[in-house]
Structure 1
Amino acid sequence: MRIALTSVCVDDQERALRFYTEVLGFVKKTEVPLGEHRWLTVVSPQDPDGVELLLEPEGHPASTVYKAALVADGIPFTAFAVENVEAEHARLVALGVRFTQEPLAMGPVTTAVLDDTCGNLIQIATMH
């Protein structure tokens, strides 16, 4: 058994696709029209056959409340591994990304938290 797909609820799929590809550097894997929305996934360019991230349209009322509560408490919705948090933070800041937590070393891990522009906080992390 392996994890094949995970999702992040987004308030705008087109904006999410631009942010996750043009800013974060993922690549589009799947796009299937589904009425007013799409089955839209991205993957890491380093692992194009790996875990897909579904940019899921925020449709259920509970998802809106849940996301808002996480953001209000400063809790990331999910986390992505990066080679070097400080370098990735600098690259993303130069692209205009807003961080709610600057790089912070906590023992064997360094993390930072960014706003994905689609209603989520996302953590980036490096294990040392």
Structure 2
Amino acid sequence: MKIHLSSVFVDDQDKALRFYTDVLGFVKKTEVPLGEYRWLTVVSPEDPNGTELVLEPDGHPAVKPYKAALVADGIPATSFAVQDVHAEFNRLRGLGVQFTQEPLELGPVITAVLDDTCGNLIQIAQYK
């Protein structure tokens, strides 16, 4: 068994697609119209057949309070692996990305937390 899909709830699929591709560097894998929304996924260019991230609309009534509570407590919705947190932090900050946590060593990992502009905090992490 392996993870095939994971979701992040977003407040605007177009804005999310731009951020996750143009800023974070993922590539669009799937886009299927489904009425008002789309089945929209992105993948890592390093693993185009790997786990897909679904840019899931946050329209369900339970989602916005859930997202707001996570953000208020500083809890990331998900975590992405990077080779070098410090380099990625500098690259993303140069693109105007806002961070709620600068690079921090936590035992065997270095992490940073960013705002994805779509209502989520996202952690980037590097194993030392």
Q: Distance in 2 between matches of 1:74 and 1:61?
A: 21
CA deviation vs aligned residue, 1:60-82 (integer Å, no higher than 9, x gap):
11110000000001110000000
- Counterparts of residues 89-128 of structure 1 (less than 5 Å): 89-128=89-128
Number of equivalences: 128
Q: Which amino acid aligns with 2:18?
A: R
Q: Distance in 2 between matches of 1:118 and 1:106?
A: 26
Normalised to the residue count of structure 2, the TM-score between the two structures is 0.99
How far residue 5 of structure 1 moved from its aligned partner, in angstroms, is 0.3
How far residue 21 of structure 1 moved from its aligned partner, in angstroms, is 0.1
Q: Distance in 2 between matches of 1:123 and 1:61?
A: 25
Task: Provide the residue aligned with 2:63 in structure 1.
Answer: 63
How far residue 107 of structure 1 moved from its aligned partner, in angstroms, is 1.6
Q: Distance in 2 between matches of 1:91 and 1:75?
A: 22
Q: Which amino acid aligns with 2:35?
A: G
CA deviation vs aligned residue, 1:80-121 (integer Å, no higher than 9, x gap):
000000000000000000000000011210000000000000
Task: Provide the residue aligned with 2:33 in structure 1.
Answer: 33
Identify unmatched segments of 5+ residues in structure 2. Answer: none
SS across alignment from 1:45: coil
RMSD across aligned positions (CA): 0.4
CA deviation vs aligned residue, 1:14-49 (integer Å, no higher than 9, x gap):
000000000000000000000110000000000000
Q: Distance in 2 between matches of 1:76 and 1:9?
A: 12
Q: Distance in 2 between matches of 1:46 and 1:70?
A: 29
Identify unmatched segments of 5+ residues in structure 1. Answer: none
Task: Provide the residue aligned with 1:43 in structure 2.
Answer: 43
